[in-house]
Structure formats: structure tokens, C-alpha cells
Amino acid sequence: MSSYDFPDARGRFGAYGGVYVAETLMAALDELNAEYARAKADPAFWQEYHHELKHFVGRPSPIYHAKRWSEQLGGAQIYFKREDLNHTGAHKVNNTIGQALLARRMGKKRVIAETGAGQHGVASATVAARYGMECVVYMGSEDVKRQAPNVFRMKLLGATVVPVESGSKTLKDALNEAMRDWVTNIDSTFYILGTAAGPHPYPMLVRDFQRIIGIEAKEQMQEMLGRQPDMVVACVGGGSNAIGIFHPYVEVEGVRLVGVEAGGDGVETGRHAAPLSAGKPGVLHGFRSYLMQDEDGQIIETHSVSAGLDYPGVGPEHSLLKDIGRAEYVAINDDEALRAFEDCCHLEGIIPALESSHALAHAAKVAPTMGKDQIILVNLSGRGDKDINTVAGLMGITL
Amino acid sequence: MSRVAETFARLQAAGEKALIPFITAGDPSPALTVDLMHGLVDGGADIIELGIPFSDPMADGPVIQRASERALAHKVGLRHVLAMVKTFREQNQHTPVVLMGYLNPVHVLGYETFAQAAAEAGVDGVLTVDCPPEEAEDLTAALTAAGLDPVFLVAPTTPMERVREIARLARGYVYYVSLKGVTGAGNLDIDDVARKIAALREHITVPIGVGFGIRDAETARAISVAADAVVVGSRLVQEIEAATPETAKEQLTRLVATLKAAIR
Ligand SMILES: Cc1ncc(COP(=O)(O)O)c(C=O)c1O
């Protein structure tokens, strides 16, 4: 497979992606596309990006052998790519730094963002503070309740958090509201989109800024073990941490790529957030991809214990990788994710994000079916400090 | 000649501008929509824009978002919208109906299936807000083949080379978005709109309608000096929101009559 080169000039990943937005946004997307093309060819841009990743984020993030858990499972060896150790606690900051540097190049002094779990909101507020920009974060009012610590974190960083009351009051509605803000303030504002979705060029842009995860992992695995993993596992909300670790592996033979969606109460119950497992192609938020929708084409409400996976769509590149069979997508239910969350705490001394716990749960599920000499690399996309209220609540404890 | 083109030709001959009211199908309830459409015509509507409810109306302000939510509470989908148009046509064969909405409900039905069903129901034109010319090839072909007018948006931010491309594809009329923002916003600059329309006429031969943010008779009149048509949406939806089901039709008719009188 040496011909994997997406998106095309129209922002298409095969039959997915594209630019499905109202006319008012077209010029801004063209401008962003042109500026990114210039930045991409400018070594100084990447130099600053890598400098920031090293000195501000703390990259490279380590690879860690989850030895006790692997032993207990009795099969494949599980390794973590430790994105949880990044400044701000998740992979999201890799992308916000890249986009904020673009915003600065374009002379934009105001940035906006949507957020679900609050991790992208925190990462956006963080870079806005770092580069001296005004920051407004849209967040579904349901998520504002679920993720109170991150709401306060954003405020500490000087951002304005706007609770969104429309629709299902979660991530998709926050994205709608961010788009509405952008269309209204298009001259002054840069929209920092938080996942590898949205209209072209965002899916490409976000992927390019998250690829650092997979690029590092490839080098680190080679250095540590002299080989690449048999399987790479990542959770999929909009798909940015997954595409970040998958993309550098797409053309590496023998490495299985597995994306884990949120199964909520179980895919069979309809109460989930797993468009690749149970959705149909459609158009939302500026791009074509697998989507959770009813027979009228209305978007269905999603359900997941993790706010960051509670999204009815998925980045277009994952739809392509699914269709061409280069990646597999599975679903992990709330209860399975919570069990993995606890195991990771007890056996490895790491409190993982609930999002990442979905990837961990799948690794724990398949490891026993694999040989002891086989390797699973899990993208530990974030830490779980933000989730302690949710988990305590599920245990019947009030903090 | 399409019903839209006929309407504009008739108005032009009479030296009149078109009034295009917008309401969302199924708001406040599906049983009322056809009646409200007749009420719009009674007040002087020249063309009706009928909104297809959508769960994620990204380009709409709070007023039309709420209209969508009210309609969706009754589970009104695209198929119901087409049935409503069909019923409307039983009594009215002369007022063009243009469906306005987002792409996904149309996409899921299939462009050709949709275009044929819409033509059979008596629809005249279709505007999908989130489908710019770049993505519109298949849909436009299906619409045109079924004899429907594809209506496109032009925004204050649209550069002239895109205007030329839109002019090539657009039939019926072009919808100029009068401001940078969502429907119902309040930052309309009338002089700027007039200048922009003059520039657009160098490339666009079909009539030009203007909408987003036209909330009163005075603004409608001022806009109608430069435009061929004035689109009023949020203001009418607010009227529906404030009315009872019993009074909604009468109130809409009265409001539309005031607007039509202002631009005549
Ligand atoms: C820690 C963590 N992992 C994963 C995700 C899911 O997003 P994506 O699929 O874009 O990586 C989020 C989103 O908030 C997150 O906070």
C-alpha cells in the first residue's frame, strides 16, 4: 500500500470529508487552507511547533510497559503511549499549539473552540494564554455539569466558557455554536477545532499536528524493542488521538490498527456513540462520514460515560480506513471501560481518562487471545483527573 | 418557464419586488403548516420558503433553532414536508415553494429519489445551506433533471470568482446573505448590501433575493430598492412563537401584508 495519500485537493478521503458549510465560511476555509500550505512548507513554522512541544508540552511522551497488567492478563504485552503526561493532561494540546501558531501567522487575536470533556477547551485556553489571545470556549451545558473541574481550569486560564443549551447540550451542539460564532466574527476569529473532523482542511490539519504521537511511537518502539507492535489501539471520539497514532503506521505492514468507539449501554441498545460500528454515511459539521442518524437524517443523541467520546460523527479519514479495511473499529461499553479504568489505577498506578479507558478495555479484552511475545500499543490519550467526579458519582460517593 | 421564473417575470412587469417569507415546516405543529402557508399567500407572499427541520441547524440563530426543535418534537421529517407541499398544492398552483434546509435529510433519502418526490409534490426550488457549489454537482444535476431550481447562497465574504461559479449553477434566484452571521442576527448594513448587489449583477442574471436579519417593514423597504426579492424568516417565526395555534394564521397574514406593502 504505497499509494496512501489523503486527502485530495478537495479535502476528500475517498468518499468522505469535503467542505459542506454555508457560503459565508467558504472564504475563511480557503484562507486557512492557503495559509496552512505556506506554513507546511516553512521550516521555521515546524521548528517553532517542535520547540513548543518539547519545552511547553514536555514531549516526547514516554512509552511505558504495563507489566503487571500484561502479566495478569497472561497474553500479549501491553505498552502505553503516555499522552496523559503532556502538559494539560491529554493529546489535545499537540493540535492546539499547531493551530494557535497558524492563528498567529494569520494575525487573529481571538480564538474559539468547542469542547466535550473539556480537554480541548483547556488545551485551547492554555495556548491562548501562552500566545496572548482572547479565548471563548463553547461547551454543552450537560458537559459543563459533568466536567466541572475542567470548566474551572479554563476560567483560571482566562477563557470565557459559554454553556450551550441547544439540542442535546453536548459536544455536537457546542460545535454548532462555535460555527455560529465563527460565521459572525469571521474577520477577527480563528476557530481551533478540537478533533480530526469538520470541513477541509481541519481533518488534515488536526491529523498533521497529532501525527507526532505515531512518529515518536515508531522511533521509540524501534529503540526500546527493536520492532513495531502487532496492534495499535486508540479510542475514537472525533478521531484525533487515533489518527495521530495510526497515520504513521498506515503503510507499515503487519501492524493492526484498532479504533475503539464508545459502546455506551451497548451498541445493541441504540444508546451509544459508535457511528463506525452502527451508523451510516451522512453529512454533518461540514464533512461526510459515518454518522449516527435516524431514517429522516436527523442526528441521534449519543450516550457514553465519557464526555469526550459523546459525538455522533467521526473524522472522515477513519471512515476511509474502515472501508478499505486498513483499520478495524470496535465498541467498548461503559461498564467495560470503567473496569479497565479501575484496573489501570490498581495495577499500573495510572489514573487514565475515561476516553482512554475504552482503548485500555479493548486491549485487556484481546491481550489474553494473543501470544506472550506479541505487543499491543495503546494510546493512553489522557489522564483521568478530570473524571474523578464522574467515577465517584458512579460509585455512589460525593466528593 | 419554472414557476419561480414566471413569478419574477410577472412582478418585474408590474414593477414590483418579491416578498419571500420563511417558516419552518411543522412549527408549531404539523397540522398547522399548510394553513399557515395559505395565510402567507393571503398576506401577499410571492414565493414561500419552507424550512426542513434539522437537528443541527448550524447556520441558524436561536429563533429558527427553536422552530426546528418544535417541529422535531412532532417528528416532522422531509417526507412529511413533501406531503405538506402536496396538500398545499391542492388549493394553490401559482405560489412557488422553495425548500430550505440542511443537506443530511436530503442526502439520506438519495438525491434522485428526493428530487423526483419533491417535483411530484409540487416543490419548485431547493436551497441546502451547507452544500456549496464545490459539493453540489450531484444534487444540482438531480434537481435540474427533475425540473427544480437549485438556489444558492452568496455571502458578503464570497469572492468574485466564486460568484461566477455560483452564477453558472444557480436557477430561480440567488439568495444574498445580507450579513456575516446566522439567521436573525441584527447587524445588517443596508448601504453595504446595495453596493454588493450592484456588483453581483455583473455576473448574476437570475433575480437576487436578500435575507438574514430583515426584521421590519422599514428595513424590507430599504433592501427592496436594490434587491429583486426580500426574504423574511426569524421575524415571522417569532410571530408564530408568540401566537396561539388559533391566531397564528391571522397574525402571519397581517404581518406579511405590512411587509409586502412596504416593498411594493
Ligand atoms: C483524553 C481524551 N481522549 C480522547 C478524546 C476523544 O477525542 P479524539 O477522538 O479526537 O481523540 C478526548 C476528547 O475530549 C479526550 O479528552
Q: Is residue A92 among the annotated active site residues? A: yes
Nearest-angstrom CA–CA distance, B21 and A226: 69
Contact between residue A89 and residue A386 where contact means Cβ atoms under 8 Å apart = yes
Which residue from B104, B107, B129 is facing A22, i.e. has the nearest CB?
A: B129
Q: Which residues contact A36 (CB under 8 A, 6 or more apart)?
A: A102, A201, A205
φ, ψ for residue B214 (rounded to 5)?
Answer: -95, 110
**What pLDDT score was predicted for residue B1?**
82
A239 lines ligand 1 (CB under 6 A): yes
pLDDT, tens digit, 9 for 90 and up, residues A325-373: 999 999 999 999 999 999 999 999 999 999 999 999 999 999 999 999 9
On chain B, the residues whose CB falls within 8 A of the CB of A179 are 58-59
Closest ligand 1 atom to residue A356 Cα is: 3
The SS3 call for residue A1 is coil
Which residue from A22, A185, A282 is facing B107, i.e. has the nearest CB?
A: A282
Q: Nearest chain A Cα to B131, which residue?
A: A20
Alpha helices in chain A (DSSP H): 23-40, 43-52, 67-73, 92-105, 119-131, 141-146, 148-156, 171-184, 202-210, 212-225, 240-246, 275-278, 316-323, 334-348, 354-366, 388-394
**What pLDDT score was predicted for residue A147?**
87
Q: Which residues contact B50 (CB under 8 A, 6 or more apart)?
A: B22, B23, B24, B25, B33, B37, B81, B84, B85, B97, B98, B99, B100
C-alpha cell at B4: 419561480
Instruction: Establish if B169 touches chain A: CB-CB under 8 angstroms.
Output: no
pLDDT, tens digit, 9 for 90 and up, residues A242-296: 999 999 999 999 999 999 999 999 999 999 999 999 999 999 999 999 999 999 9
Nearest-angstrom CA–CA distance, B46 and B41: 7
Contact between residue B259 and residue B220 where contact means Cβ atoms under 8 Å apart = yes
Per-residue confidence at A2, pLDDT binned at 50, 70, 90?
low
Mutation for testing the B interface, residue in A171, A298, A300, A302 having most B CBs under 10 Å: A298
pLDDT at residue A20 tops 90: yes
For chain A, what is the total number of helices (H) and then of strands (E)? 16, 15
Question: What end-to-end distance do the CA atoms of chain A give, in Å?
Answer: 52
Contact between residue B24 and residue B61 where contact means Cβ atoms under 8 Å apart = no
**What pLDDT score was predicted for residue B177?**
96
Instruction: Establish if A144 touches chain B: CB-CB under 8 angstroms.
Output: no
Residue A56 burial by Cβ neighbours in a 10 Å radius (0-12, 13-18, 19+) = middle
Nearest-angstrom CA–CA distance, A86 and A273: 26
DSSP A298: P
Identified catalytic residue from A114, A142, A261, A317: A114
**What pLDDT score was predicted for residue A160?**
98
On chain B, the residues whose CB falls within 8 A of the CB of A284 are 56, 104
CA of A301 to the centre of ligand 1 (A): 18
On chain B, the residues whose CB falls within 8 A of the CB of A18 are 134-135
How many CB atoms are closer than 10 A to CB B216? 14
**Which of B66, B236, B125 lies closest to A165 in space, CA to CA?**
B66
Domains annotated for chain B, with CATH where assigned, are 3-263 (3.20.20.70)
**What pLDDT score was predicted for residue A1?**
46
Q: Which residues of B are catalytic?
A: 49, 60
pLDDT, tens digit, 9 for 90 and up, residues A37-46: 999 999 999 9
Nearest-angstrom CA–CA distance, A162 and A140: 8
A116 lines ligand 1 (CB under 6 A): yes
Q: Whose CA is nearest to atom 4 of ligand 1?
A: A355
Q: Evaluate the omega torsion of the peptide bond into residue B159 and state whether it is cis, within 30 degrees of 0.
A: no
Mutation for testing the B interface, residue in A33, A283, A288 having most B CBs under 10 Å: A283
Nearest 10 degrees: CA dihedral of A63, A67, A73, A78?
10
Q: Is residue A145 among the annotated active site residues? A: no
What are the mean pLDDT values of chain B's consecutive 10-residue runs (264 residues total)? 96 97 98 98 98 97 96 98 98 98 98 98 98 97 98 97 96 95 88 96 97 94 97 98 97 98 94
For a mutational test of ligand 1's pocket, the pick from A175, A241, A290, A317, i.e. the residue with the most ligand atoms closer than 8 A to its C-beta, is A241
- ipTM score above 0.90: yes
Q: Are strands A160-164 and A134-140 parallel, antiparallel or unpaired?
A: parallel
Contact between residue B86 and residue B122 where contact means Cβ atoms under 8 Å apart = yes
Q: Nearest chain B Cα to A177, which residue?
A: B58
DSSP A11: S
Q: Say yes or no for a CB contact (<8 Å) between A285 and B56.
A: yes
DSSP B49: E
Instruction: Establish if A360 touches chain B: CB-CB under 8 angstroms.
Output: no
Bin A133: left if φ > 0, else alpha if -120 < ψ < 50, else beta: beta
Which amino acid is it at B129? V
For a mutational test of ligand 1's pocket, the pick from A124, A151, A205, A240, i.e. the residue with the most ligand atoms closer than 8 A to its C-beta, is A240
pLDDT, tens digit, 9 for 90 and up, residues A24-83: 999 999 999 999 999 999 999 999 999 999 999 999 999 999 999 999 999 999 999 999
CA of A353 to the centre of ligand 1 (A): 9
**Which of B155, B204, B178 lies closest to B8 in space, CA to CA?**
B204
